[in-house]
Structure 1
C-alpha cells in the first residue's frame, strides 16, 4: 500500500503553489501578449517538471506507482486539451483582449485545482467507504463517453451557461474590460467588468470537467496523492499550452471521438474492478500498463487521423464536443424557455 508522508504532501503542494504564484505574478505585473517562443519555453518547462516528478516518484516509491502516475498524467493532459477548446471558445465569445488572457487562464487553472482537490478528497473517501462507487464512477464515465460521442461535432454553449446568465441578470456589468480589473466604479456604484463574467464561465466549465476527470483518473489509480499530482501537473502546463496550440486546435478534428473512447475504456476498467472485488475474483482486471498503452494508442491514432482529415479537407474544423444538445437561439428567446 502506498504510504505518502506529510513531508511529501507538503513539498508537492508547496511546489505547485510556487509555480502558480509565479504565473499570477507574471500575469499581474507584466500583462502582455504571449508569443510562440515564450509559450513553447513554458510548455517544455512544465512537461519537464511533470516528467521529473514522475521519475523521482517512481524511483522513490516503485515502478508500479510511477506507471500509475504517468498514466494518470497522460489521461488528465489529454482531457485538459479539451479544456483548451472551451477556453478558446470562452475567450472568443467574450472578446478577451490578448494581454488579459494570461491572467484569465491562471485564475481559471487555480479555480480548477481547488475544485479538483475537493473532488479528489470526496472521491477518495467514497471509494474507501463504499466499493460500489467504482461501479457508479464507471457508469458515469460510460454515460459521459456516449454523450460526448453523440455531440462530438458541437461546441459548448457558453451564452446558455446558467451561471453566466444569472450573473448578467443580477449584476451590473461594464461594457469594457477596464484595464483587466474585475470590478470598477461606474455611475457612482460598484460594477463588475466582463473579466469577472469570463472567470465565472471558466470556473463553471471547470466544475463540469472535474466531474469527469476525477473518476477517470481514479480508474487508473486509487491513491489520492497520485490523483492529485497527476491533475496538478497536467493543469499547471495548461496556460502555456493554450498559447502554444490555440492556432492548431482546429486541426484535431477527431479528438472528441478519442476522448470518448478513453472515457468509455476507463469506465469499463472501473466496472471490471468493482466486479473483481465485490462479485467474483475470477473477473479479469485491466492492468495499469495495458491502460497506459491503450490511452497512448488512442491519442496517437486520433492525432494522425485528424491531421490526415484536415489535409484532405482543409475546411474541416475540430470541436470540443458537448454533453448535451444545444437549444436553438429561437428556443432560448421564448419566454417559456427561461
Structure 2
C-alpha cells in the first residue's frame, strides 16, 4: 500500500511538471478550478481504497483527516498570497515556486509525521499534549483575529539579506543568478526574490505543520492514514491557491472556523475520556468537521455577498 501510494504521488508530480506545466505560463482561474477539483476527487477516492483495504473506521478516519488537512491548508493560501504580494511575484512565475515548495513539504511532513508517530507509540500521553496544544492554538487564533503579518520585519528574511547577496529585482523564473560584484567586478551568485519567496513558503509550512500534524494525530495514530491524508491534501494546494487567490476576500471568516475546528479536534480526546469512550466515534468527528467548515464558509460568503470579485473571467 505504501508503494502504491508513493507511485501515485510520483506519477502526479511528473504529470504536473513534465506535461501540464512544462512551460512557464500564467495559470488561469478556470484551469486552477479544474486541477483543484481533480486533486480533491483523487484524495476523496483514495478514501475508498483505504476503506477497502483497512476497514470502515480507517476509511472514515482518512476522510476526516483529509478534510481537516485540506481546510487547514486554506490558511496557507492566505500566507502564500501575502508572500507573493510582498515580493511582487508575477502569476506566471508563482507555479514554479509552489511546485518546489510542495516537494519540500512532502519531505518535511514525512519527517515530522515519523517523529510524531514514534513519540505517540512510545509515550501515549503525548496525544494529550497534542490535544492541549490544538486547543490553545485555536483560542489564540480566535483572539488574534485577522491581524496581518509584516514580512519586512521577518527575522529569517533579515538574516538572509544580511548574510547573502540578494538582487532587488526578479530575473525571470530563476532562483539564483550570476552578476558582477560591485567591488571586484567578478561574477558571483546572487539569490533572487523568487528564492526568498520559496524559503518563506517552506518556513510557513513548517509553522502550519506544527498545527496540522497534531490535528491528524488527534484523529488517528496510524502513520499510513496520517501521511496519505496529509499529502493528498497538500498536493492540490498549488492548484487551490490559483483558484482562490482572486477571491480570498470572500472567505473573511474562515480563519475563525478553522480555530473552532482546532479546538474541537483537540477537545475530542478529553471528551472521550469524560464519556468513558475508548475513542471519539469517527462518524461523529467527520460530521462535526463538515458542520464547522460549512458554517464558516457559508457565513463568510453571506457577510461578503456584496463584494465584487477582483478577477473577471480568466481563461
TM-score, structure 1 as length reference: 0.85
Match of 2:276 among 278, 282, 307: 282
TM-aligned CA deviation for residue 143 of structure 1? 1.4
CA RMSD of aligned residues (A): 1.8
Write the deviation string for residues 46-82 of structure 1: whole angstroms up to 9, x where unpaired: 1121122111221222111100000000000000111
Partner-residue secondary structure (3-state), 1:180? coil
Retained in 2: the 8 A contact 1:73–1:233?
A: yes
Distance 1:214 1:165 in 2: 28
Give the match for residue 197 of structure 1: 196
TM-aligned CA deviation for residue 303 of structure 1? 1.0
More off after superposition, 262-271 vs 281-290: 281-290
Distance 2:28 2:21 in 1: 17
Give the match for residue 101 of structure 1: 94
Retained in 2: the 8 A contact 1:76–1:231?
A: yes
TM-aligned CA deviation for residue 25 of structure 1? 3.2
TM-aligned CA deviation for residue 189 of structure 1? 1.0
Partner-residue secondary structure (3-state), 1:191? strand
Match of 1:80 among 33, 49, 73: 73
Structure 1 281/152 Cα, relative in aligned 2: closer, same or farther at 3 Å? Answer: closer
Distance 1:160 1:24 in 2: 34
TM-aligned CA deviation for residue 43 of structure 1? 1.2
TM-aligned CA deviation for residue 281 of structure 1? 8.7
Partner-residue secondary structure (3-state), 1:246? helix
Retained in 2: the 8 A contact 1:116–1:210?
A: yes
Q: Structure 2: state its 5+ residue gaps.
A: 181-186, 309-315
Structure 1 311/28 Cα, relative in aligned 2: closer, same or farther at 3 Å? Answer: closer
TM-aligned CA deviation for residue 14 of structure 1? 2.0
TM-aligned CA deviation for residue 23 of structure 1? 2.8
Retained in 2: the 8 A contact 1:173–1:192?
A: yes
Give the match for residue 213 of structure 1: 212
Distance 1:167 1:52 in 2: 42
Give the match for residue 150 of structure 1: 143
More off after superposition, 19-28 vs 111-120: 19-28
Count of aligned positions: 302
Partner-residue secondary structure (3-state), 1:185? strand
Match of 1:172 among 154, 165, 184: 165
TM-score, structure 2 as length reference: 0.91
Match of 1:58 among 48, 51, 76: 51
More off after superposition, 25-34 vs 214-223: 25-34
Give the match for residue 325 of structure 1: none
Give the match for residue 131 of structure 1: 124
Q: Structure 1: state its 5+ residue gaps.
A: 1-7, 316-338
Query: Hey, which bits of structure 1, 4+ residues long, moved more than 6 A?
Result: none
Distance 1:79 1:168 in 2: 30
Partner-residue secondary structure (3-state), 1:179? coil
Once the two structures are superposed, the pairs formed by residues 169-318 of structure 1 within 5 Å of their partners are: 169-187=162-180, 188-272=187-271, 276=273, 282=276, 285-311=279-305, 314=307
Distance 1:252 1:185 in 2: 42
Distance 1:310 1:37 in 2: 22
